[in-house]
Amino acid sequence: MTVVSELTEKSIPEIKEMPKGLQALISRAGKSKSLPPIHLWNPEFCGDLDMQIKRDGSWYYMGTPIQREALVHLFSTVLKQEEDGKYYLVTPVEKIGLTVEDAPFVGVEMDIHQQDGEQVITIRTNCGDVVEAGPDNPIRFVQQEEDGGLKPYILVRDRLEALFARTLVHELAPHLQEREGEGGRVVGIESHGAFFVVDTVQNLGF
């Protein structure tokens, strides 16, 4: 059974209705190990696709979850966010819009260790990216309006971020530090010599 027929039966409905560039990607699922040069591709916009990345990092096509991990990983390598804030899948011949509920990736595993006298935070995403937080891959924090909790994000590449899974937020908490900031005492986290501010001590109620 070929990859495409297997996916048609088990994973994605109406695969023949997908743009041909994505169909070509699907035929290579599980074979590519590197990021394609999407920064060199400038295809015409072909419209929006009924594809979503949910808050938990799961991908859906036409309301059906994409369960094949290799295919999700492959789609993630041709994902980009442009200056208008919208997300697209890009092939050499097509640019297709999709919906992202929160962040396109989720941080699912974290390591915090000392390296050359510095604390280093390493995050693995649900799509297999491994990123070390630092000046080139900053962490930012957003306060949730509904419960006041904090959502940390790390820049994975370009404009694409990963939301920390809730378990990682709890693991991160013991490593928060207080420092003197421009507006008074602040709380934050350090990695690779960069300090990422959560908020002021006063606002956090410390």
Looking at residue 32, its pLDDT comes to 53
What's the CA gap between 93 and 111, in Å, rounded? 39
Looking at residue 183, its pLDDT comes to 74
Specify the pTM: 0.84
DSSP codes, 112-161: EEEETTEEEEEEEETTS-EEE-BTTB-EEEEE-TTT--EEEEEEEETTEE
Looking at residue 128, its pLDDT comes to 87
Q: Which amino acid is at 54?
A: K
Looking at residue 1, its pLDDT comes to 25
Contacts 24+ apart (CB under 8 A), 128-137: 128/73, 129/76, 129/105, 129/156, 129/157, 129/162, 131/155, 131/156, 131/162, 132/191, 132/192, 133/189, 133/191, 133/192, 133/194, 133/196, 134/191, 134/192, 134/193, 134/194, 135/192, 135/193, 135/194
Q: Which amino acid is at 14?
A: E
Residue in the structure block whose two tokens are 């990092």? 57
Mean pLDDT in consecutive groups of 10 residues from the start of the chain, 206 residues: 35 56 59 78 93 96 90 92 95 95 96 92 93 96 79 96 96 92 88 93 75
Q: Which two tokens mark 72?
A: 């999700």
Looking at residue 19, its pLDDT comes to 65
DSSP codes, 37-96: -GGG--PPEEEEEEEEE-TTS-EEETTEE---HHHHHHHHHTEEE-TTS-EEEE-SS-EE
Q: Which two tokens mark 199?
A: 């908020």
